[in-house]
Amino acid sequence: MGMIGNGIGPDGCENPKINGTDEENLCLKYNKYCLNGGTCQAISPTKFRCLCPETHYGGHCEHPNPCLSRQFCSGHGRCQKDPLGCICFKGFYGPRCQFQEDGCGFHTSNETGELIYERTAPSPLFDRWTCTWHIEMFDTRKVLQINFLNLTAPHLFEVTSKGCENAFVTLTIFDGADPLQSPTLASTQIVNMCHGEDFEMPFKHPLFTSTNKAVIRLSSRIQGRSTFLHLNWTAKKPSCGGRFSSPTGGRIDYYLESSRRDEEELLGDKACIWYVNVPPQFHIELGLQVLRLPSAETVNCSSNILEIFDSQMPSNKTLSSQKCSSLPTKEAPTIVRTSGPFTTIYLRIDGQQQLFNKKCGTSCTSIGFSIVYKTIELPTGCGGKIQAEESSSLLQSPNYPHIYFPNLDCLWIIQPKIISKNNTENNNENNKLISNNEENDGDDPYLVDQKVEIFFEHFDVPTTVTQYSNPLLRHVTINSCVGDSLQIVEKELTYCNMQKPSLNLPIVAPYFSLKFHSDSSIGGSGFSIRYHSVCQKILLCQTAQYLLQTIPALHHNPLNVLIELLQSQAIRLRFDKIGFTTSFGSCFYNTRQNNPQIQDYVELSGGHSSNEVANKRYICPRYPFVAPGGEIVTSGIRPFSITYSTSGSPTNKGFLFYYETFNIGCGGVFTINENGEQKITITSPNYPEPYIPFMYCVYFLRVPIGKAVRLSFDVFDVENVAHRDDCDFDNVRVFDTYTDDNEHGQLLGK
């Protein structure tokens, strides 16, 4: 209204009047500001612009148009004025397209594109090569969305590890300029993938840069037939996400307000990524205070998800926390601690659910989250000497339950709390072996009966797996604790995720030296160990009597006697004296559950768990303490344990028992030689006499690779119950592999 002109194009209309009433043309006054043949155009009563000829550009047509010169882009590209730059032809790059690509890789400023790279060779060769692709948008306000489609890598053998140091092919992506030009830019690495399970996470959802640049580098130390990379990218104006680098901490708030939502925004899925980095001497603590997702309190990880990664390279191995539903308003903040100076926050919201929620109008709760983060100085050391008390305590890896720190070497020494000298002398006098088969422990600095018991409550220490699957090699998997590990020195045990300890299974020793090592790559949540001091006597004699006379001041905590024996042996145990008294009525209700208040008891544990007589807590000095005849016989599938507990009552006089271990041919390891001609005969315990009750024997049969095992039963006579076909009484079972009742291979026969 009130404008003049032909109305064609962005310059087709102008305002003919100025200052409302004096009818003076604005451009008569300001036309001199349009240089080099430019003409003035009024766009409001107070503003004008210059229409420049083709030869010049700028606000006042003050700059010559470099695009008129074919040499501006070195003859290898197409010039554009706004923003000024060169779009290079294939094979050239640089601000003026002055550089020619050397080998694989390219430089581009295209806002959308696809990268397909394939490298072939007649046969696998050890040949190091690197391809680098540079993407840089002219518009610095935009970021890049990168979608992974495929990455196939050649390999002589498979390597699955925490990092990519030993990988044959590695793909890295940097957020910004090439780190080779400046070492300080190495902290912007947002992808580091190699063949193996590292590929799983980045392929699920797109990744975003925080700048208008990305550098993609594919490195290999082998040239093979099947190197293939496929991805695409799109430039977008960011509505969320970014990079935060405050050295002290900060706050990240992101919400989709109901009043600001429009149909275009709601119809598409939303994915955002925030990168946080702090100085290298710190790690990060994040507090998730508020989280509201469209699915509300319904857990739906396929549509709505907030993930926090212990790295600026999100992957399945660096995931620290995952939330798929809204947090209750009164719930305490979720705390996540990183192992280093980086973290990544990834938010994905389903667009259709947003559109559904829009129908509720302004009453809808804003969708989004609030996270407060702060820096924590990295600890300077770990380990130390610990004195185990009678009450249990916890030993945990640094930063537990979050991912432990890299490059750790920790040593913990756990010792039992030493009893006073007077008590030690009394203990040795009243707790002794009536036998000359065992020598005195002499000057051992640790008491014979005072030890440390530990058991693992949690364990997650990842390491490296190498699988050789080359056609020239037979398939071999090497499970080694190379990288991160926890070592129990006294037991010569090394644990990692490839060789995990049994959870809640006690390990006892006079003292423990625990060595924990982590390398520079990403770790796990670590370990949690509960420990306390125990009274335990280990008996190694084949035949012995053991006498314990109670002194209330000393034995107010349970004493454990452990009898070591071979798995092929059996043990015969006879109690000659049980020095505590219990009411007759209580003797027939003697389970742990029914009598938790009774402190005077003897608890047995040995043989197979199905032997109830040898795995029970007894509170009576007579029957039903043991079967008639006073003896217990069981197999040596595990050490036989006797735990004695007393309330300290003077009526509790201790106990005296006799035991013997004997070979009965119960199980063993049997190996056939290489030529396979040898035949092995295995028999039941005590054969040809009737087998002893409560035996549990495991026979391992090993043959050379390429051979099979053939079993032929010459004699088979085991007890069965009439009208029962389940073999749940006495039975023989055959497995292809076997560790224990809970961990074994296929059942071949029963």
Task: Pick the more confident residue, 286 or 739.
Answer: 286
Task: Verify that 486 and 623 share a domain, yes or no.
Answer: no
Per-residue three-class SS string for 563-590: ECCCCCEEEEEEEEEECCCCCHHHHHCC
Answer for the pair 618, 591: CB distance below 8 angstroms, yes or no.
Answer: no
425 lies in a domain?
Answer: no
For 411, the domain range is 382-418+446-464+480-534
Cβ neighbours of 329 (radius 10 Å): 8
Picking from 534, 552, 580, the residue at the C-terminal end of a domain is 534
Cβ neighbours of 335 (radius 10 Å): 11
Task: Verify that 595 and 626 share a domain, yes or no.
Answer: yes
- Average model confidence (pLDDT) across the chain: 76
User: How much is the pLDDT for 414?
Assistant: 94
Please name every residue paired with 546 in a beta bridge, in sequence order, or none if there are none.
433, 657
User: How much is the pLDDT for 394?
Assistant: 92
pLDDT above 90 (res 707) = no
At 544, the pLDDT band (50, 70, 90 cuts) reads: low
Closest by CA to 342, choosing from 283, 272, 281, is: 283
594 lies in a domain?
Answer: yes
Task: Verify that 525 and 553 share a domain, yes or no.
Answer: no
User: How much is the pLDDT for 234?
Assistant: 94
pLDDT above 60 (res 524) = yes
Task: Pick the more confident residue, 99 or 384.
Answer: 384
* pLDDT tens profile 602-626: 888 888 877 777 888 877 766 445 5
| DSSP reduced 3-state for 701 | strand
742 lies in a domain?
Answer: no
Instruction: Identify the burial level of 198 via C-beta atoms within 10 angstroms of its C-beta, where 0-12 means exposed, 13-18 middle and 19 or more buried.
Output: buried
Picking from 199, 219, 236, the residue at the C-terminal end of a domain is 236
Task: Verify that 204 and 331 share a domain, yes or no.
Answer: no
* pLDDT tens profile 13-42: 655 554 443 334 678 777 788 888 888 888
Answer for the pair 607, 641: CB distance below 8 angstroms, yes or no.
Answer: no
Helix, strand, coil fractions of the chain, as percent rounded to 5: 10, 40, 50
Rounded CA-CA distance 591/616 in Å is 8
pLDDT above 80 (res 537) = no
The owner of tokens 């695009």 is: 67
Task: Verify that 231 and 251 share a domain, yes or no.
Answer: no
Rounded CA-CA distance 11/721 in Å is 102
18 lies in a domain?
Answer: no
* pLDDT tens profile 437-489: 343 344 333 345 788 999 999 999 988 665 554 545 455 555 568 789 999 99
Task: Verify that 413 and 451 share a domain, yes or no.
Answer: yes
Helix (H), strand (E) at residue 355 = helix 351-358
pLDDT above 70 (res 95) = yes
pLDDT above 80 (res 634) = yes
pLDDT above 50 (res 727) = yes
At position 159, the amino acid (one-letter code) is V
Mean pLDDT of 495-512: 86
Mean pLDDT of 250-271: 66
Instruction: Identify the burial level of 321 via C-beta atoms within 10 angstroms of its C-beta, where 0-12 means exposed, 13-18 middle and 19 or more buried.
Output: middle
Output the six-digit token pair for 212. 């208008």
DSSP code string of 279-317: -TTEEEEEEEEEEE-TTTTS--TTT-EEEEESSSS--TT
Helix boundaries (H) for 463-558: none
The region of weakest confidence among 88-92, 119-123, 321-325, 570-574 is 119-123
Task: Verify that 589 and 499 share a domain, yes or no.
Answer: no
Per-residue three-class SS string for 328-340: CCCCCCEEEECCC
Mean pLDDT of 310-323: 85
Share of the chain above pLDDT 70, in %: 73
146 lies in a domain?
Answer: yes
Answer for the pair 391, 532: CB distance below 8 angstroms, yes or no.
Answer: yes
Domain containing residue 649: CATH number: 2.60.120.290
Closest by CA to 218, choosing from 264, 159, 164, is: 164
* pLDDT tens profile 402-430: 999 988 999 999 998 765 444 443 444 44
Give the rounded distance of the alpha carbon of 494 from its chain centre.
19
Answer for the pair 569, 662: CB distance below 8 angstroms, yes or no.
Answer: yes
629 lies in a domain?
Answer: yes
Helix (H), strand (E) at residue 450 = strand 450-460
Give the rounded distance of the alpha carbon of 8 from its chain centre.
63
Sheet containing strand 485-488, strands side by side: 384-388, 409-416, 512-517, 485-488, 493-495
Cis peptide before 401 (omega within 30 of 0): yes
Closest by CA to 655, choosing from 623, 619, 615, is: 619
Output the six-digit token pair for 685. 């315990």
Picking from 635, 663, 691, the residue at the C-terminal end of a domain is 663
Task: Verify that 391 and 485 share a domain, yes or no.
Answer: yes
At 260, the pLDDT band (50, 70, 90 cuts) reads: very low
Give the rounded distance of the alpha carbon of 17 from its chain centre.
71
Rounded CA-CA distance 722/709 in Å is 32
DSSP code string of 102-171: -SSEEEE--SEEEEEEEE--SS-B---EEEEEEEE-S-TT-EEEEEEEEEE---SSEEE-SSSTT-SEEE
* pLDDT tens profile 346-371: 998 876 555 445 444 444 557 889 99
Instruction: Identify the burial level of 651 via C-beta atoms within 10 angstroms of its C-beta, where 0-12 means exposed, 13-18 middle and 19 or more buried.
Output: exposed
Output the six-digit token pair for 501. 């300890």
Task: Verify that 146 and 231 share a domain, yes or no.
Answer: yes
Give the global pTM: 0.61
Please name every residue paired with 213 in a beta bridge, in sequence order, or none if there are none.
136
Rounded CA-CA distance 193/173 in Å is 9
15 lies in a domain?
Answer: no
Rounded CA-CA distance 34/58 in Å is 10
The region of weakest confidence among 16-20, 81-85, 564-568, 719-723 is 16-20
Task: Pick the more confident residue, 144 or 74.
Answer: 144
Task: Verify that 499 and 544 share a domain, yes or no.
Answer: no
Mean pLDDT of 538-557: 57
Task: Pick the more confident residue, 127 or 341.
Answer: 341
DSSP code string of 195-263: SSGGGHHHHHS-EE-SSSEEEEEEEES-B-S-EEEEEEEEEE--SS-EEE--SSEEEEEEEE-GGG--H
At 553, the pLDDT band (50, 70, 90 cuts) reads: very low
Rounded CA-CA distance 483/612 in Å is 43
Contact residues for 196 (Cβ-Cβ < 8 A; gap 6+): 158, 159, 160, 161, 167
Task: Verify that 514 and 615 share a domain, yes or no.
Answer: no
Task: Pick the more confident residue, 688 or 287.
Answer: 287
Cβ neighbours of 218 (radius 10 Å): 24
Please name every residue paired with 577 in a beta bridge, in sequence order, or none if there are none.
656
Task: Verify that 402 and 321 share a domain, yes or no.
Answer: no
Mean pLDDT of 197-219: 74
At position 243, the amino acid (one-letter code) is R
For the chain, first and last CA: distance in Å? 96
Output the six-digit token pair for 509. 């020793």
647 lies in a domain?
Answer: yes
Fill in the DSSP letter of residue 265.
Answer: H
Output the six-digit token pair for 310. 């212990």
Rounded CA-CA distance 237/239 in Å is 7
Q: What is the dihedral of CA 381, 387, 389, 392, to 10 degrees?
A: 30
Output the six-digit token pair for 91. 């094979």
- Please state the domain count of the chain: 4
